[in-house]
Amino acid sequence: MNTTAARRYSIGAMIFHWLIAILVIMNWRIAETAHHLKGADQMAVYGYHKAWGMLILALTVGRLLWRWTHPVPPLPADLKPWEAKLARAVHIIFYVLLIGLPIGGWLATSFGARPIDFFGMFTIPTLPVGENKELSHTIFEAHATGGSIFIYLIALHILGALKHTFFDKNGGIFRMLPFGKVPG
């Protein structure tokens, strides 16, 4: 295997990464839009937010399965110990949020006794939890807070990738792209 390839993520990992990243940012914007609407319009937009969230959950499960069956390149050797720890912590938190936010949304929706329409193709049933509107509201509030934390972490992740690419010149973003220079 060539050494540049050994320092890059696999093509499958790249596809999962960029697809999930685009969907997460898009879904955050959909939620922000819905938050400013009222009535049926709000519910319709939140319906799309929920469907996209379930797709993100499915893709994240696929991404984790991919990760467990395909080697992950090592972090660049020039990272400071705190940078390596921060990178690992942020990635772990990303996976927790990529799984926890959709499941939390599904749980809150279930406590609200509402199934999730998956783009008109099929219905994702409620979880067997019974109806509890107050708990539904509480979970949705936690879900929104988690989404805000996620967006801040995404910004930190992007800034880190840009720093490593343009200041440290250690490959940064090119580790997750099929082009560009990843130095040894």
CATH at residue 160: 1.20.950
Over residues 152-162, the pLDDT tens digits come to: 999 999 999 99
**Domain membership flag for residue 27:** yes
108 or 71, which is more confident: 108
Which residues have C-beta within 8 Å of that of residue 74, sequence separation ≥ 6?
7
**Domain membership flag for residue 182:** no
pLDDT of residue 171: 86
Which residues have C-beta within 8 Å of that of residue 53, sequence separation ≥ 6?
27, 101, 102, 105, 106
**Domain membership flag for residue 183:** no
Counted domains in the chain? 1
Binned at pLDDT 50, 70 and 90, residue 4 comes out as low
**Domain membership flag for residue 184:** no
Over residues 41-83, the pLDDT tens digits come to: 999 999 999 999 999 999 999 999 999 999 899 999 899 999 9
**Domain membership flag for residue 181:** no
Instruction: Please count the residues of the chain.
Output: 184
**Domain membership flag for residue 47:** yes
**Domain membership flag for residue 86:** yes
Binned at pLDDT 50, 70 and 90, residue 1 comes out as very low
**Domain membership flag for residue 22:** yes
Q: Which domain holds residue 70?
A: 3-176
